[in-house]
Amino acid sequence: MTIKKICCIGAGYVGGPTMAVIAYKNPDIEVNIVDINADRIAAWNDEDLSNLPIYEPGLAEIVEKTRGKNLFFSTDINKAIDESEMIFISVNTPTKTYGKGKGMAADLKYVELCARNIAEVATTDKIVVEKSTLPVRTAQAIKSILHNTGNSVNFDVLSNPEFLAEGTAIQDLLSPDRVLIGGESEDAIESLAKVYGSWVDDDKILRTNVWSSELSKLTANAFLAQRISSINAISELCEKTEANVNEVARAIGMDSRIGSKFLNASIGFGGSCFQKDILNLVYIARSYNLHEVADYWEQVIVLNDHQKRRFSDHLIKTLYNTVSGKKIAMLGWAFKKDTNDTRESAAIYVADHLLSEQANVAVYDPKVEDFKVLNDLNYLNSRPEQENRELVSVHDNPYEALKDAHAVAIMTEWDEFKTYDWRSIYDNMKKPAFVFDGRNILDKSKMEEIGFEYYSIGQ
């Protein structure tokens, strides 16, 4: 089938950029992105492209070229479903916060709602593509809902997991390492392969069965996160032994069997995917009674939590065991550079720990709005919201956040932090002036030369 109209339910970090690139590379296909969140859709339709709800380098340029031509954003979900031959489900699948599998399993209620909605509305045959990361065998559930509640039209379900990383989403979409399509119907698979084929070489488009495709996404994220926990584990050992984790990472990364990527020691990984997907993998393994398998992967999370905690413990200990009433400046709130996404960011947990010790936390992030910082902290429910408001300040000028601070904690590896005037920052801080570099982005000897007490990870 040649696809003329595509609908995507979910205008988030995955749906938005992915559909923008599909529209850009397929001018003959009309792409409609729909979402229940009217504010988000309004932001996608904003004349001023700096108001798009998602910050991604290169995204605004692509939206500018396609929006209103063959890319449309709307809240009219039913119309978009009915008119399209292919429907992507790209809604969020958070970790369950209630009931069986609480804190571990993926909450599939939004995905199920989408499937029911599609079944109710569709009057012609549809290819339904799961883009949201889902536990293994979810496609089967979607299929069952579609077939049992639909208007006896034909539904083919495909799994097409997204491998883009935030901050480099457009680059990752334009030149993917691979595109994965899992499915039963060869015709449906080839229809989707053709959409990607307009810019991706066919040998990079892998066709698998549905379950391999679903499991590959969880596995890819688990392997990536495992590398970070592995190097972070070594970072703690380096701090005890005078080895330097950057030197170790370089030395092992030059082994072509290991490779050099994803070996940056840090305050711990964040983001919407790694923790959620590993917990999900652990939950699935346990539900098949594979306890050794579950324990093995769970340790990646245990180590990550430890890394965040030991960073804030070390900060408090170094500041003479008390941060009460002290101003701690935090540079960066996003879970990595070049995104305004803060989900599961290590900064949230470090700040929460410092606030429990009654520190005054002053936050600066180049792309994160101030209400998000407070929302993230309130969501943890560690103290009354009023207290968070009193203890936390969010600044749009970094030098203000840093003025009179006892210590700086670098949470995100934003490039601009490297080029700040650290000498004048030093002059305006309380002495001794401490820097805790959670991303190893500053030069230790230069910082010490200025007069800072400088601490980094694994050095």
Residue 425 phi, psi (nearest 5): -60, -45
- Strand partners for 362: 329, 393
Is 238 annotated as catalytic?
no
3-state secondary structure of 415: helix
Among 79, 82, 163, 453, binds ligand UDX (CB under 6 A): 163
d(CA 49, CA 35) in angstroms, rounded, equals 19
Q: 398 near 368, Cβ under 8 Å? A: no
Asked if 221 touches ligand UDX (CB under 6 A), the answer is yes
Among 40, 308, 326, 353, binds ligand UDX (CB under 6 A): 40
Stretch that binds ligand UDX, among 31-39, 312-320, 361-369, 397-405 (CB under 6 A): 31-39
d(CA 142, CA 163) in angstroms, rounded, equals 22
Q: 196 near 168, Cβ under 8 Å? A: no
**Largest Cα span, the chain:** 74
Asked if 264 touches ligand UDX (CB under 6 A), the answer is yes
Instruction: For Cα atoms 366, 317, 456, give the angle at the middle one, nearest 5 degrees.
Output: 50
Stretch that binds ligand UDX, among 185-193, 262-270, 282-290, 378-386 (CB under 6 A): 262-270
Residues 229 to 258 in contact with ligand UDX, rule: CB under 6 A: none
Asked if 279 touches ligand UDX (CB under 6 A), the answer is no
Which strand (E) or helix (H) includes residue 208? strand 205-208
CA atoms within 13 A on the CB side of 254: 5
Q: Which residue's Cβ has the minimum distance to ligand UDX?
A: 12
Among 1, 57, 65, 110, binds ligand UDX (CB under 6 A): 110
Q: Are strands 179-182 and 126-130 parallel, antiparallel or unpaired?
A: unpaired
3-state secondary structure of 84: coil
- Give the per-residue contact string, 355-394, with ligand UDX (x = CB under 6 A; - = no): ----------------------------------------
Among 86, 91, 222, 405, binds ligand UDX (CB under 6 A): 91
Among 166, 298, 338, 376, binds ligand UDX (CB under 6 A): 166
Shortest Å distance, C-beta 130 to ligand UDX: 9
The site for ligand UDX (CB under 6 A) is made up of 9-15, 35-37, 40, 90-93, 110, 113-114, 131-133, 162-166, 221, 224, 228, 262-264, 266, 269-274, 335-336
Catalytic residues: 273
